[in-house]
Amino acid sequence: MIPLTDSKPDLALMGRRSFLRAAALAAAVPIVTEATLAQAKLASQSLGVLPPDAVIINANENPLGPCKAACEAIIRILPLGGRYDRMGELDALTNEYAALHGLKPETLAFYAGSSEPLHYATLAFTSPTRSLVMADPSYESAAAAAMISRAAVHKAPLTATYAHDVRAMVAADPNAGLIYIVNPNNPTGTITSREDILWALENKPKGSILLVDEAYIHLSDEHDVLDQVVAGKDIIVLRTFSKIYGMAGIRCGVAIARPDLLAKLTPYYQNAMPVTALVAARASLADKVLIPARKKWIADSRIETLAFLKANGFKPIGASQSNCFMIDTGRPARGVIAGMQREKVYIGRIWPVWPNAVRISVGSPDDMAKFRVAFKSVMDAPALAATTPLRTAARGPVGMRGDKFLS
């Protein structure tokens, strides 16, 4: 990692030309995050600041926030906030995260959220001649970055069980640069089996990199693929503290990969880590009940809501193991979202491939109780516009350039 805050990057090491190219790309490009996507939706409707009694379930946030130990760690470090990381907090977090996960510290690179390495990996491994391959629907951020690298984006529909169709993805382009798998997927919360991910890793086009985004892995029963990093494979795994750890606003994420792959992201890495994020992340790791307790809390809320939806004849899509799920509303989803907003319940955006589906983030039990009442009332009212059928699991990847990522 090249510290850019109070020393200059080693241009000789990374190559002046590649540094300048990377810097120009990085400077020109906003990083697309859940926050940007959710806010863009609200801003486009001039909603401004949401009312204090709003139910906000539109950005896959965790209403529990940081754990107690993380809050206390932030308070302790605040008086030292006038300085950069002079206390070795980045090294301490790196070493503890590595030890906890059986990794070597040099295979970790921390960022202010995993949106950064997702963006940089796309810039580093895609180009006009090396495409991005992803699922549809899936998290839009990489496709947004591919607009900057001017890479083609091949989107493979999810399978009938809403897993990534790894065979279609691997077959999508022999010149793929990056194959992006989100597990569990955002927006569906559905699982792609470890077996399928390993198949993709073994069979992907020569020279391509597999990017496995495990932002939501702790919420699922699925095994991670960190052992593939240990085995030295062409894989980058992304993790974030924004989801189960409840630190979306504090900003901490990590890219896990062979050092030579992490080095490709280095020219794009521009900022120092906030010390608040470093100490909060380390304190969260030390809380041994956090993951099982929060996983159960979120799962209980999700299961109760899904049972309600099914009992009332609504159609949740697939078997989510995450803090989000989709519902096929059977009518244009824009009208449903607008109706929910009138009830002060702010739900997620639309993915163009499924114009009738909405994404719901799992909030607190109280949030979900309000959601259930509002959703039933909106759906019991006549649709605001004519219905169009939801398209699911159509076969074959669709190639596109300059992909439109925000519906």
Per CB under 6 A, residues contacting ligand PLP are 33-34, 60, 113-115, 118, 139, 182, 186, 213, 215, 240, 242, 248, 253
CB 78 within 8 A of CB 371: no
Nearest CB to ligand PLP, comparing residues 33 and 284: 33
Nearest CB to ligand PLP, comparing residues 247 and 336: 247
At residue 28, φ and ψ (nearest 5 deg) are: -85, -10
CA atoms within 13 A on the CB side of 17: 0
DSSP codes, 342-372: HTTEEE----TT-TTEEEEE---HHHHHHHH
Least distance CB 210 / ligand PLP (angstroms): 15
In the bound complex, which residue of the shown chain has the CB atom lying closest to ligand PLP? 113
Nearest CB to ligand PLP, comparing residues 191 and 374: 191
135, 275, 348 from 188: Cα distances, Å:
11, 33, 11
Nearest CB to ligand PLP, comparing residues 378 and 403: 403
Nearest CB to ligand PLP, comparing residues 186 and 320: 186
Least distance CB 384 / ligand PLP (angstroms): 28
Strands 152-157 and 131-136: parallel
Counts of helices then strands in the chain (DSSP H, E): 15, 13
157 forms beta bridges with 136
Least distance CB 89 / ligand PLP (angstroms): 18
Do you know the residue count of the chain? 407
Least distance CB 15 / ligand PLP (angstroms): 28
SS3 breakdown of the chain: % helix, strand, coil, rounded to 5?
Answer: 40, 15, 40
Least distance CB 170 / ligand PLP (angstroms): 20
Q: What type of residue is 158?
A: L
Cβ count within 10 A of residue 5 = 10
CB 124 within 8 A of CB 317: no
Least distance CB 7 / ligand PLP (angstroms): 26
Helix (H) or strand (E) holding 55: strand 55-57
CB 147 within 8 A of CB 126: no
Nearest CB to ligand PLP, comparing residues 36 and 266: 36
54, 63, 176, 312 from 305: Cα distances, Å:
18, 16, 39, 11
Distance (Å, whole) CA 225 – CA 393: 25
Nearest CB to ligand PLP, comparing residues 37 and 55: 37
Alpha-carbon Rg for the chain in angstroms: 21
Residue linked to tokens 């259930």: 372
Nearest CB to ligand PLP, comparing residues 275 and 378: 275
141, 164, 243, 295, 352 from 186: Cα distances, Å:
11, 11, 12, 17, 14
Least distance CB 215 / ligand PLP (angstroms): 4
CB 281 within 8 A of CB 93: yes
Nearest CB to ligand PLP, comparing residues 164 and 331: 164
108, 281, 317 from 69: Cα distances, Å:
23, 10, 36
Nearest CB to ligand PLP, comparing residues 137 and 339: 137
Least distance CB 59 / ligand PLP (angstroms): 7
Nearest CB to ligand PLP, comparing residues 34 and 173: 34
Least distance CB 390 / ligand PLP (angstroms): 22
Least distance CB 380 / ligand PLP (angstroms): 31
Least distance CB 37 / ligand PLP (angstroms): 8
